[in-house]
A = this chain, B = another copy of it.
Amino acid sequence: MTTALPADATAFLTDFHAVAEIGATPNAGVDRQAATPEDRETREWFRTYAESRGWEVRVDGIGNQFALLNLTSNAPYVLLGSHLDSQPLGGRFDGAYGVIAGLHAADRIARRVSTGAAPHAPTYNLAVVNWFNEEGGRFAPSIMGSSVFAGIMDEAEMREVRDLRGISVREALESIGYLGTDERPDIASYAEIHIEQGRILEREGIPIGAVDASWHTQKLDIEVLGEQSHTGATLMSDRHDALLGAAKVIQRVHEVTDLFPPETLVSSVGQLTLEPNSPIVVARRVHLVADLRADDREVVRSARDKILSDIREIEAEHGLVINARDFDVRANQLYPEAGLQLTEQVADALGTGARRIRTMAGHDSVAMNRIAPTVMLFIPSVDGVSHCEREFSRDEDMVTGVEFLTEVAWRLVHGALQETK
The answer to the question of A316 belonging to the interface, with a C-beta cut-off of 8 Å to chain B, is no
A89 interface residue (CB < 8 Å to B) = yes
Whether A293 and B232, one on each chain, are in contact in the complex, defined by CB atoms closer than 8 angstroms, is yes
Within 8 A of B (CB), among A191-248: 197-198, 215, 217, 219, 227-239, 241, 243-244, 246-248
User: Which one, B236, B279, B282, B291, contacts A231 given CB within 8 A?
Assistant: B291
Q: Is A283 an interface residue (CB 8 A)?
A: yes
State whether the Cβ of A88 lies closer than 8 Å to any Cβ in chain B: yes
Residue of B nearest to A244 (CB): B254
Q: Is the CB of A279 within 8 A of B275?
A: no
Interface residues in chain A, defined as those with a beta carbon under 8 Å from any beta carbon in chain B: 87-89, 135-138, 140, 142, 164, 197-198, 215, 217, 219, 227-239, 241, 243-244, 246-248, 250-251, 254, 257, 262-263, 266-284, 289, 291, 293, 359-362, 384-390
Do A280 and B236 have beta carbons less than 8 Å apart?
Answer: no
Cross-chain contact of A197 among B233, B250, B251 (Cβ < 8 A)? B233
Is A279 a contact of B274 with CB atoms below 8 Å?
no
Which B residues lie within 8 Å of A237 (CB)? 262-263
Q: So how many copies of this chain end up in the complex?
A: 2
Interface centre among A230, A241, A248, A359 (most CB of B within 10 A): A230
The 9 A-B pairs at the shortest CB distance, nearest first, are namely A88-B276, A137-B278, A197-B233, A228-B388, A247-B250, A247-B247, A230-B387, A233-B361, A279-B289
Is A234 touching B276 in the complex (CB atoms < 8 A)?
Answer: no
B-side contacts of A289, CB under 8 Å: 279
A279 touches which one: B219, B236, B241, B293 (CB < 8 A)? B219
- Write the chain B residue with the least CB distance to A248: B251
Contacts of A135 in B (CB 8 A): 278, 280
Contacts of A385 in B (CB 8 A): 229, 234, 238
B residues near A89, Cβ cutoff 8 Å: 228, 275-276, 284
A388 vs chain B, min Cβ distance (A) = 4
Q: What are the residues of chain B within 8 A of A230 when measuring CB–CB?
A: 197, 361, 386-387
B contact residues around A282 at 8 Å (CB): 268, 270, 387
Tell me the smallest distance from the CB of A292 to a CB of chain B, in Å.
9
Q: How far is the CB of A214 from chain B (nearest CB, A)?
A: 10
**A91–B390 alpha-carbon span in the complex (Å):** 47
- The docked-state distance in angstroms from the alpha carbon of A278 to that of B266 is 16
B233 pairs with A384, CB closer than 8 A: yes
Give A277 to B270 CA distance when docked, in angstroms.
6
Contacting residues, chain B, for A88 (C-beta < 8 A): 275-278, 281
Task: Give 6 A-B contacts (CB < 8 Å), ordered by A residue.
Answer: A229-B385, A229-B386, A230-B361, A230-B386, A236-B266, A268-B282
Other A-B contacts than A135-B280, A234-B387, A243-B270, 18 sampled, CB-CB below 8 A, are A88-B281, A136-B279, A137-B281, A138-B278, A197-B233, A217-B232, A219-B279, A227-B388, A229-B388, A230-B387, A231-B291, A233-B360, A243-B250, A243-B272, A244-B269, A270-B283, A273-B277, A279-B289
Contact A232 B251 (CB under 8 A): no
A360 near B232 with CB under 8 A, answer yes
A268 and B231: CB pair below 8 A? yes
* Cα of A275 to Cα of B257 in the assembled complex, Å: 23
Contacts of A276 in B (CB 8 A): 87-89, 137
> How far apart sit A237 and B241, CA to CA, in the bound complex (Å)?
30
Bound-state CA distance A293–B279 (Å) is 13
Q: How far is the CB of A164 from chain B (nearest CB, A)?
A: 7
| Chain B residues whose C-beta falls within 8 Å of the C-beta of A164 in the assembled complex | 277
Whether B388 and A284, one on each chain, are in contact in the complex, defined by CB atoms closer than 8 angstroms, is: yes
Q: Is there contact, CB below 8 Å, between A268 and B247?
A: no
